[in-house]
């Protein structure tokens, strides 16, 4: 263990003994480069040793006929129609963002762009879901200030995405004291491709030339995967060296050059250099192609002199791609790289057999079986066997003044407008954005339920994107809370008039050696499987981030779900802002109106009982009805009820227009006003229906619980219960409060 610690390998005693036995069988001592290579390959980050057994159990059969590639290469590929596919992936960059927020977040964007690019796809949109401290909890000694962390994570995403010319189009933002010192940065990307142009992350033969192109190799990012495979420690200055340095100015020409070469059929296979650097990319490409490899490390272009062979091999320097190219294509592809002024070098080739040999000058510095290199340990971690959390109901005290309480709810970080963050991102570069993260009148926008991108210039097809996790619910009950997460993403896509099509996960959990954490992990996977099986949705790509804990304090289970929807006519999508004075407001969907899992109960620091389970049959009915009637013209806008409950959903619809509303909640349910306004349970939607279309709408949606609750009118928000006015405030005054909610944490 002393050797593992001294060399930064991150391997435990049993893994070191296994290495020792291998080299004893080989009849020799390992080289420094071989030990470092094994440390990368057997890290939690690279081989998923604590999660692989569960991922295989729950996700291996979640495919559909339109799934092209799932869980095989660097990103998932899904067919839409004919030869038109989309490529998608989501990953976390949590540990780097905790110690170096700006660089960690920026390189999270850079890495996910390369995952899409290495499939031969043009990236068209970035998605970010952030889970950050709220500045109200205790920051552990030796960890970064919350305001510094928040502002620098946002700046890192902004600067990289804006400079590389790919829009940041969707995401989510959650603030909680559970994330003080342990921020979560989940970044996704979607691209488009013609099926014939898909590139695989493998060599095509035993005689491919291996070309490294893009940024030069340096000492930044060394031991990045080892760092991401352990717990965070205070004042961990050494780990800051494991954070890569991104360069978006190099990324833009790299994207253009790779796509040009791929369109011309010059690339046999390619992989980006992310976690583990060359060590992971070269080994995985050769093994996947049934070959071995010979690499000359002295041919790698470096940022600095004197780099040791093992440093070159495991460096995670950014903006690098490894390409497999046929010998006859080398000159032509070299010309493309020179045209785009990109550094490149021929560093080796694929060879018969399944061994990876590394040379530095004339010295053989590594000679390992690829099968052994990639045969990382697989652990079946013990877990507590409990599926659902049963909690007694806690009845929160009625406030003295409901209007004042509503204003406090609007001010809450997780309910307030996210404009101080999302306005920093470019949403429209490339011109593919049909629906932005905010919609409505100029300077009066509200949040959209999902962003929508057109796929290309020649097709009416569009993609909708929704990403997030219901942390308030998962921390109560990981199974049902994950079901809430899945259902919210599903409803978000329906609110845009798009049909849910695929699922991508980014699973963030605490210490896998904690039996409670592994129970949370297993239950979340089970929920994703159950939901996807019911709705016939494929899980096409994913990521697992463990060891998100400080000491014994684990983050709450945070299974972030990115769900993609499709539409065959992006001109027919919906947005949540009110459209017409005098239109009718309907509340659809059943609920027990529990406050469990709500932002309101979290604000009050109360766990208000057990979560209501998701009614998937009801949700399926909504899917069928919305898809059937989306082109009828009777539906003017749709918004689902989620964070903040009914009151926030009504206000958000109004904030995007110049119109107020009058709503009577008397008939909703025989529960307290508190529950009617702030409950987030059930599959509930608000529909705005055009004047004179009410009877038609009620007939069309008679298969689900439908209530007419109000009208769009005036400039005020008016809510009535049993003839008593609960709220009467101008929309403008409430919007001002909503817009300023994040100033103290972001501004």
Enumerate the active-site residues. Answer: 45, 93
Assess contact for 231 and 547: CB atoms under 8 A: yes
The tokens of 346 are what? 């021929």
H/E run at residue 255: helix 248-263
Local structure of 662: helix, strand or coil: strand
Taking the CA of residue 224 as centre, how many other CA atoms within 13 Å lie in the half-sphere pointing to its CB? 35
d(C-alpha 332, C-alpha 697), whole Å:
61
Assess contact for 165 and 429: CB atoms under 8 A: yes
Q: How far is CA 376 from CA 52, 101, 288, 310, 471, in A?
A: 11, 30, 16, 19, 32
Assess contact for 176 and 134: CB atoms under 8 A: yes
d(C-alpha 361, C-alpha 390), whole Å:
64
Closest CA to 734 of 664, 680, 632, 656: 656
Assess contact for 8 and 38: CB atoms under 8 A: no
d(C-alpha 379, C-alpha 513), whole Å:
11
CA angle 631, 619, 131 (to 5 degrees): 100
**Sign of the alpha-carbon dihedral angle for 565, 567, 570, 576:** negative
Please report where in the chains the tokens 């969707």 appear, as a residue. Answer: 170
The 184-194 sheet, strands edge to edge: 67-69, 76-81, 84-92, 184-194, 122-132, 168-175
The tokens of 236 are what? 């961990």
For 689-695, the CB contacts below 8 A with 24+ separation are 689/583, 689/584, 689/585, 689/586, 689/634, 689/635, 689/636, 690/580, 690/583, 690/633, 690/634, 690/635, 690/636, 691/580, 691/582, 691/583, 691/584, 693/633, 693/634, 694/584
Taking the CA of residue 380 as centre, how many other CA atoms within 13 Å lie in the half-sphere pointing to its CB? 3
**Radius of gyration from C-alpha coordinates of the chain:** 26
Cβ neighbours around 620 below 10 Å, total: 14
**Sign of the alpha-carbon dihedral angle for 288, 291, 297, 301:** negative
The 706-712 sheet, strands edge to edge: 635-640, 685-689, 584-588, 706-712, 661-664, 716-721, 724-730
d(C-alpha 549, C-alpha 171), whole Å:
23
Local structure of 334: helix, strand or coil: helix
Assess contact for 496 and 503: CB atoms under 8 A: no
Local structure of 722: helix, strand or coil: coil
Phi, psi torsion values for 405, nearest 5 degrees: -65, -40
d(C-alpha 143, C-alpha 231), whole Å:
13
Residues belonging to the chain = 747
Q: Angle formed by the axes of helices 146-164 and 101-117, to 10°?
A: 30
Closest CA to 350 of 327, 329, 372: 327
d(C-alpha 202, C-alpha 258), whole Å:
16
- 3-state SS of 460-515? CCEEEEEEECCHHHHCCCHHHHHHHHHHHHHHHHHHCCCEEEEEEEEEECCCCCCH
């Amino acid at each position: 263990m002393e050797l593992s610690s001294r060399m930064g390998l991150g391997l435990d005693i049993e893994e070191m003994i296994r290495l020792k036995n291998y080299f004893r069988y080989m009849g020799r001592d390992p080289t420094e480069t071989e030990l470092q290579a094994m440390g990368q390959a057997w890290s939690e980050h690279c081989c998923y040793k604590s999660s692989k057994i569960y991922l295989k159990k729950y996700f291996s059969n979640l495919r559909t006929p339109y799934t092209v590639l799932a869980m095989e290469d660097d990103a998932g590929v899904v067919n839409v129609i004919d030869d038109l596919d989309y490529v998608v992936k989501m990953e976390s960059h949590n540990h780097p963002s905790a110690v170096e927020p700006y660089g960690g977040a920026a390189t999270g964007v850079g890495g996910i762009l390369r995952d899409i690019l290495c499939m031969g796809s043009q990236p068209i949109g970035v998605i970010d879901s952030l889970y950050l401290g709220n500045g109200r909890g205790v920051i552990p000694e030796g960890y970064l200030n919350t305001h510094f962390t928040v502002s620098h994570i946002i700046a890192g995403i902004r600067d990289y995405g804006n400079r590389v010319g790919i829009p940041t189009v969707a995401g989510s933002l959650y603030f909680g004291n559970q994330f003080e010192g342990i921020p979560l940065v989940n970044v996704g990307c979607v691209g488009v491709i013609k099926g014939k142009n898909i590139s695989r992350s493998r060599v095509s033969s035993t005689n491919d030339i291996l070309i490294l192109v893009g940024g030069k190799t340096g000492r930044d990012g060394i031991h990045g995967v080892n760092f991401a495979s352990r717990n965070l420690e205070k004042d961990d200055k050494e780990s800051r060296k494991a954070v890569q340095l991104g360069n978006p100015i190099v990324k833009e020409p790299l994207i253009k050059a790779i796509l040009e070469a791929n369109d011309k059929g010059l690339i046999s296979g390619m992989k980006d250099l992310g976690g583990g650097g060359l060590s992971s990319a070269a080994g995985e490409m050769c093994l996947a192609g049934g070959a071995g490899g010979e690499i000359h490390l002295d041919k790698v272009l470096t940022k600095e002199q004197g780099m040791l062979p093992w440093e070159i091999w495991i460096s995670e320097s950014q903006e690098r791609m490894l390409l497999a190219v046929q010998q006859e294509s080398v000159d032509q592809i070299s010309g493309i790289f020179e045209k785009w002024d990109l550094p490149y070098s021929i560093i080796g080739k694929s060879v018969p057999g399944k061994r990876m040999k590394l040379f530095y000058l004339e010295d053989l510095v590594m000679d390992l079986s690829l099968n052994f290199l990639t045969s990382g340990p697989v652990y079946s971690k013990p877990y507590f066997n409990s599926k659902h959390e049963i909690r007694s109901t806690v009845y929160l005290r009625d406030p003295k003044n409901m209007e004042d309480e509503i204003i406090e709810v609007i001010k809450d970080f997780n309910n307030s407008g996210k404009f101080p963050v999302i306005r920093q991102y470019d949403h429209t570069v490339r011109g593919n954005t049909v629906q932005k993260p905010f919609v409505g009148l100029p300077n009066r926008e509200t949040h959209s339920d999902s962003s929508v991108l057109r796929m290309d210039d020649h097709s009416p097809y569009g993609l909708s994107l929704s990403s997030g996790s219901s942390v308030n619910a998962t921390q109560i009950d990981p199974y049902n809370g994950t079901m809430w997460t899945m259902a919210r993403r599903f409803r978000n896509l329906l609110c845009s008039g798009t049909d849910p099509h695929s699922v991508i996960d980014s699973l963030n959990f605490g210490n896998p050696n904690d039996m409670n954490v592994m129970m949370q992990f297993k239950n979340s996977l089970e929920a994703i499987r159950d939901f996807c099986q019911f709705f016939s949705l494929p899980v096409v790509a994913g990521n697992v981030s463990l060891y998100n804990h400080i000491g014994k304090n684990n983050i709450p289970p945070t299974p972030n779900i990115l769900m993609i929807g499709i539409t065959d006519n992006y001109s027919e999508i919906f947005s949540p802002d009110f459209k017409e004075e005098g239109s009718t407001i309907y509340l659809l969907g059943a609920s027990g109106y529990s406050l469990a899992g709500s932002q309101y109960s979290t604000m009050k620091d109360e766990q208000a009982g057990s979560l209501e389970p998701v009614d998937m049959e009801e949700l399926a009915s909504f899917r069928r009805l919305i898809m059937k009637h989306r082109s009828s013209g009777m539906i003017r806008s749709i918004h689902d009820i989620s964070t903040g409950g009914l009151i926030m959903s009504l206000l958000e619809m109004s904030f995007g227009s110049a119109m107020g509303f009058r709503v009577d909640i008397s008939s909703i349910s025989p529960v307290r006003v508190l529950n009617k306004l702030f409950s987030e349970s059930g599959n509930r939607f608000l529909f705005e229906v055009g004047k004179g279309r009410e009877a038609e709408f009620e007939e069309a949606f008679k298969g689900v619980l439908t209530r007419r609750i109000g009208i769009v009118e005036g400039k005020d928000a008016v809510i009535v219960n049993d003839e008593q006015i609960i709220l009467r405030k101008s929309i403008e005054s409430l919007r001002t409060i909503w817009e300023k909610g994040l100033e103290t944490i972001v501004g």
